[in-house]
């Protein structure tokens, strides 16, 4: 049995996870739950897109057996007081910029695993730190399932698909592909021999400057296995970017893998 955990407002990225799950499992469960515990007090919990009717239709069309969409009260009854926390891997990137975020993610994912007892759970590489954190949690706590990573699905112009993209203003949407353009330029630079983190980050910032409606949250180069910052680009690394489009209050993340 497969579980595909989501926050709903499904798009082609989610559907690619569902399709991968459909191929490898007899039963596919999708959860759609906007988990309040992974949002900070000044984040977009209230404004997060929700459309359960559409999610249901998309799941039916994709051959999903069960769509699980609990309420916050069901997931967090009065007196809820148990948390799952992964250390180290959560120190940088989104962990640093969103305190408590991964504690909320790990806690809800643990609950979903316990509720559904899947053999496999599918996660997107778009949220690379989340994927690494969940895989570490499963290993460390001897959870009896496999975590299956799935590649990032992009719009034709390179923008990584995200439920939050729908909230971008037309002007922001026009600038948003700069995020992937910047990552692609960085990867090319590494492929042509650049090993300096400073030089690669500068190149990314130069491209991102085109998106003047966005404010950079972080541009980081980390080791792919433990998300630790590197001083030179070597081995398998992840170049990760977060940009906040303040007009609509939409924060976009993306990453690209490089080998040097």
Catalytic residues: 14
For ligand AMP, the closer CB: 123 or 258: 123
Does residue 161 touch ligand AMP according to CB under 6 A? yes
Out of 29, 109, 147, 150, the only residue in the binding site for ligand AMP (CB under 6 A) is 150
For ligand AMP, the closer CB: 197 or 250: 250
Does residue 255 touch ligand AMP according to CB under 6 A? no
For ligand AMP (CB under 6 A), the number of binding residues is 17
For ligand AMP, the closer CB: 55 or 220: 55
Q: What does R_g of the chain's alpha carbons equal in angstroms?
A: 18
Residues 177-236 that bind ligand AMP (CB under 6 A): none
Out of 25, 31, 90, 162, the only residue in the binding site for ligand AMP (CB under 6 A) is 162
Site string for ligand AMP, 94-133 (x = CB under 6 A): -----------------------------xx-xx------
Out of 2, 3, 7, 147, the only residue in the binding site for ligand AMP (CB under 6 A) is 7
- What is d(CA 181, CA 51) in angstroms, rounded to the nearest whole number? 30
Place of tokens 């630790």: 228
Closest residue to bound ligand AMP by CB: 124
Out of 152, 165, 175, 248, the only residue in the binding site for ligand AMP (CB under 6 A) is 152
| Dihedral angle of Cα 59, 62, 66, 71, to the nearest 10 degrees | -20
Q: Is the dihedral of CA 50, 34, 183, 123 positive or negative?
A: negative
Choose one: 12-20, 110-118, 168-176, 245-253; the region binding ligand AMP (CB under 6 A).
12-20
Does residue 13 touch ligand AMP according to CB under 6 A? yes
Per DSSP, 131 falls in state: H
CB burial of 211-236 (b: ≥16 within 10 Å; e: otherwise) equals: bebbebbebbbbebeebeebeebeee
**Distance between start and end Cα atoms, the chain:** 37
Beta-bridged to residue 154, according to DSSP, are 160
For ligand AMP, the closer CB: 113 or 123: 123
Which one, of 220, 214, 221, 208, lies nearest residue 251 by Cα? 214
Which are the contacts of 45, defined by CB distance < 8 A and separation ≥ 6? 34, 36, 39
Q: Which residues bind ligand AMP (CB under 6 A)?
A: 6-7, 13-14, 16-17, 123-124, 126-127, 150, 152-153, 160-163
């Amino acid at each position: 049995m497969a579980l595909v955990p989501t926050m709903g407002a499904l798009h082609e990225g989610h559907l690619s996870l569902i399709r991968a799950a459909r191929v490898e499992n007899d039963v596919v469960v999708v959860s759609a739950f906007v988990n309040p515990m992974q949002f900070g007090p000044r984040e977009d919990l209230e404004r997060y897109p929700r459309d359960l009717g559409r999610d249901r239709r998309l799941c039916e069309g994709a051959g999903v057996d069960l769509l699980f969409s609990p309420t916050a009260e069901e997931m967090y009854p009065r007196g809820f007081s148990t948390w799952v926390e992964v250390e180290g891997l959560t120190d940088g990137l989104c962990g640093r910029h969103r305190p408590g975020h991964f504690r909320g993610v790990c806690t809800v994912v643990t609950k979903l695993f316990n509720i559904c007892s899947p053999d496999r759970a599918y996660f997107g590489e778009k949220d690379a730190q989340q994927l690494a954190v969940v895989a570490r949690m499963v290993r460390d706590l001897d959870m009896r399932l496999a975590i299956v990573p799935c590649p990032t699905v992009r719009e034709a112009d390179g923008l990584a698909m995200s439920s939050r993209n729908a909230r971008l203003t037309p002007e922001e949407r026009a600038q948003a592909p700069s995020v992937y353009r910047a990552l692609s330029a960085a990867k090319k630079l590494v492929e042509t021999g650049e090993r300096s983190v400073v030089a690669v980050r500068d190149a990314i910032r130069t491209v991102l400057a085109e998106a003047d409606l966005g404010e950079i949250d972080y541009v980081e180069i980390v080791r792919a296995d433990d998300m630790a910052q590197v001083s030179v680009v070597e081995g398998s690394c992840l170049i990760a970017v977060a940009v906040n489009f303040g007009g609509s209050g939409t924060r976009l993340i993306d990453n690209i893998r490089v080998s040097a």
